[in-house]
Structures are given as structure tokens and as C-alpha cells.
A and B are shown apart, each in its own frame.
Chain A
Amino acid sequence: MRPTHLLPLALLLFSPPTFARVLDLDRVVEEAQNTDLKNGLARYADLDFAEGIKGLEQALVDRGLAPVERAAAALYAGLMAHSLDDVARAKDFFTQALEAVPDLELPPEAAPKDRALFEEMRSARRAQAPEKSDPVKLELDWANEPMPSAKVEPVHQKWWFWTGIGAVVVSGTVAAVLLTRGGETPACGGGGRGCIDVTISALRWRTP
């Protein structure tokens, strides 16, 4: 065995433990709610990179995407763009992935050139916004964390709930004021004459 073959093993044995987040692609695909994300990641697995990028770009438009899903979409879009030698788009995608999950790591199968570009983007991002790094997050086992699901807001936190109540109160008050004005005597006629406002409030009812 050549010495170079022992290098990964040596690194594995002697490197300090790492808690950075490595995405489990199968799990992301399995739990993803966004169809474009699912399809895009499936295209990556099928090596259909052009279509995969399209799908993941569509997925990234979705503002409701969870951070892990967003990171997965951008990361794999970047890998596919880099495979197609589109370095500029790959950089952009990698940056988006790191914005979603700052401690994101590339999957083990990533090529060295991908890893180099990805780390370049990580360094550039850290140089631009060092205050945003949060070392506490590194202690979490992100790979096994359950996928965040969409939060269901209680009804009383919905905008339409209080708007509806307000509308009912306002309209009820206006109706009450209008209905109780029947006893008022607005001016009419004059010159020794008055007038009568007649309201008929009945229908005619007959035995069937």
C-alpha cells in the first residue's frame, strides 16, 4: 500500500472530532415538502445536472423553505453547476448554501475542486461578515436533527382574525347608532306643517 492511501485513514484517526453539519441527501429528499427540491435533488442523483439546477433554482424561490432545505438546494445546485464548469453560478449557489447553514459541510463524495471552491466561498463569507459566525451551533448534531416543519400559527395570531373582529365591532356600532336614531326628529317642512316618517316592518302572513 502506498503511503498516500494511508493519509485519509490517518486523518480520520488523528483529526479532532468535528460537529459540522453534513447533509444527508437521502433524508432531505425523503422529508422535503417542496416538489422542486425533491425533483432537483433526484436529478442530481441521476446526473442530469442541467435539469437539476433548474429544479433547485425554482425551489430556492420558495420563501417557505426551511434552512436545511435551502442549504441542500443551493449546495447541490452549486455542485452541479461546478460540474458543468459554471464557476460563477457555483460560487453563488455555495454562498447561498452557507448563508442558510453557516457550518455546512460538503458531502463526502464531493470532488476536491468542489471542496476548494466551497471553502473559498466560506472564507470569503467569513471575511465579509465575521460577526455572524456562531460557534455554539457547531456543537449540535445537525445531521440527525429532525427537519423543521412549517409552524402553524394560532388563529388569534392571524391578521384576519383581529381584522374580522374589528370589522364586526365597527359595523355593529354603526348599525346600533343608525337603528336607535328612530326617535330623533330631523327637520322637515316648516311653515306650520310637520311630517311623518313611516316605516312598515311587516310582511303579510297567511295560513298555508
Chain B
Amino acid sequence: MSRRALLFGSLLGVALAACGTAHDEDAGPMLILELRGAVPVASHDLRVYGADARCDAVLGEPGAWLTARKCEPEEIDQLVRCHLAHVVVKPGATSRIEGITPGNRTVFAVGKGAADETLSRGCAEVVVRDGEAAAVTLTLVDAQ
């Protein structure tokens, strides 16, 4: 893939992200991409946390939040390092994560390479309501 195509693709991605979050004030701050050489992401690891896990906390200590444990109903929003949902998706399409208990939720995404190495991270906060789909757009940045 040429650099010009990558540049175009990244700018398009930024534009699409801007459109997607235009009506969703709960989606969190937009992160700006660094336009350098691209490494393909093989998969995205998505976790949804309760209100206790804000993005600054998760991104400040990402390793601690990559938990494999799913929250018990009584643990939700109670400062317990567990997740409400965990899915691994292929890059490209929008992924729907169902069965989320309503409330303030944090979505943490990790871009993984072909060897399961962490390439990038992103986080956004969103309000989930009963019977509704909350749209959130995550822009991942390089995991240093």
C-alpha cells in the first residue's frame, strides 16, 4: 500500500470518526492520529467496563484492566477490575456488543498484531440505555 493511499485512508478515517461522534457527546475526546508508517492490525480486543473505570484510569494502567474476568452483577460499577463484556473482532466493520447493563460505560480497545502483540490502544466513554444501541467511535493510537 503506498504512502499516499495510507495518508488518504487515515484522513478519511479521521473524517468518518468526526461524523460518527458529532451527535454523541458521551463518546469521549477525539484522539489525533500520527501519520507515519502503518503496521496492519490483525484484530481488536474490546472490553466494556462499568462507571468505575474511566478512560484516564484505564489508559493510565492498561495492563491492570486487561482482565479476563467478567463482572458479577453486584460487581458492576463497584471499583472492581472486571469487565461487562469482552470481544475480539476483525478490523474494518462496526462491532455490536450486546447485553450491556445500562449506565455509564467505558469501552477500551487494544489493536493486536498478527503475533498477538499490542500495537495500539484507544478508549471512549458512552452512556448505554435500556433497549438502545449507543454508538461510539474509538480512534486508536500507537501503544508506546
CA distance in complex: A204, B120 (Å):
6
Task: Point out the residue from B100, B128, B135, B141 that lies within 8 Å of A202, measured CB to CB.
Answer: B141
In the bound complex, residues from chain A placing their C-beta under 8 Å from that of B95 are 197-200
User: Are A198 and B97 in contact, with the CB atoms below 8 A?
Assistant: yes
CB-contacts of A4-54 with B (<8 A): none
User: Are B22 and A195 in contact, with the CB atoms below 8 A?
Assistant: no
B132 within 8 A of A: yes
B46, B109, B132, B140 — most chain A CB neighbours (10 Å): B132
A164 within 8 A of B: no
Task: Point out the residue from B17, B19, B135, B140 that lies within 8 Å of A204, measured CB to CB.
Answer: B140
A196, A203, A207 — most chain B CB neighbours (10 Å): A196
Q: How many residues on B have C-beta within 8 angstroms of the other chain's C-beta atoms?
A: 62
User: Are B133 and A186 in contact, with the CB atoms below 8 A?
Assistant: yes
Binary CB contact string for chain A from 183 to 208 against chain B (1 if under 8 A, 0 otherwise): 11111111011111111111111111
User: Are A207 and B37 in contact, with the CB atoms below 8 A?
Assistant: yes
B21, B131, B136 — most chain A CB neighbours (10 Å): B131
Q: Which of B6-14, B52-60, B62-70, B74-82 contacts A (4 or more CB under 8 A)?
A: B6-14
Q: How many residues on A have C-beta within 8 angstroms of the other chain's C-beta atoms?
A: 28
With A201-B14, A201-B139 known as contacts, the answer to whether A194 contacts B131 (CB < 8 A) is yes
CA distance in complex: A197, B44 (Å):
14
Expressed in whole angstroms, the minimum distance between the Cβ of A72 and any Cβ of chain B is 55
CA distance in complex: A65, B34 (Å):
61
B72 within 8 A of A: no
Expressed in whole angstroms, the minimum distance between the Cβ of A183 and any Cβ of chain B is 2
User: Are B100 and A194 in contact, with the CB atoms below 8 A?
Assistant: yes
